[in-house]
Chain A
Amino acid sequence: KQEVTQIPAALSVPEGENLVLNCSFTDSAIYNLQWFRQDPGKGLTSLLLIQSSQREQTSGRLNASLDKSSGRSTLYIAASQPGDSATYLCAVVPVGAGGTSYGKLTFGQGTILTVHP
């Protein structure tokens, strides 16, 4: 059974710092990995999706890397801002059992990020 773990559970940094969030998964047979942002009481916003054949994806100040063989992904946030404060979740999709399993995500517990001015 796939298990996804995120470290650290919580992180508090001053504005402007570069930071790294970690995600590990136990079964390397994944189709893709996604990073999400969750604001308190809100839904999940997809930040980056990395296909299993890719090594990294970038969007603005965010860069996500994937090392499938070691079961690890990192989310790098450059020049953090108070508006980045949220919970960051990573989730993996299994290699095709077929059909809608491609939308069946297994989530980590998240990293609560606080960026203070």
Chain B
Amino acid sequence: EPEVTQTPSHQVTQMGQEVILRCVPISNHLYFYWYRQILGQKVEFLVSFYNNEISEKSEIFDDQFSVERPDGSNFTLKIRSTKLEDSAMYFCASKLAIRSGANVLTFGAGSRLTVL
């Protein structure tokens, strides 16, 4: 069964460092998302991406965050200067089509980011 693949599974970084989290969505999917889950808290929407541009972003997704799809397969989340509060599990998700109820959002296994 097709999967959304995320790397790394766990990254430890120092505060202020740049981090890039990578995702390979399912190959024929068109819509891409990042979510995050701080330990013990709800899964939260960060950003959606379609047709090579951001469609929507939450208030969490400030100027420190950016996304891109550099090569048509990878979908990356960059945090420019990490803060302690960026420590979380980051989930990538993809979806084939917008409206069809049969096309559920498929999530990756997540990348755990620990900022020291």
Contact = CB atoms under 8 A, between A and B. Distances in A.
Interface of A: 4, 32, 34, 36, 41-46, 49, 51, 89, 91, 96, 99-110
B106 interface: yes
B12 interface: no
Contacts of B101: 32, 49, 51
A55 to B, nearest CB: 14
Interface majority SS on B: helix, strand, loop or mixed? strand
How extensive is the interface on chain B, given as a class?
A: 20 to 34
Contacts of A107: 42-44
Interface of B: 4, 6, 31, 33, 35, 41-45, 48-50, 55-56, 91, 93, 95, 98-99, 101, 104-110, 112
A43 B109 contact: yes
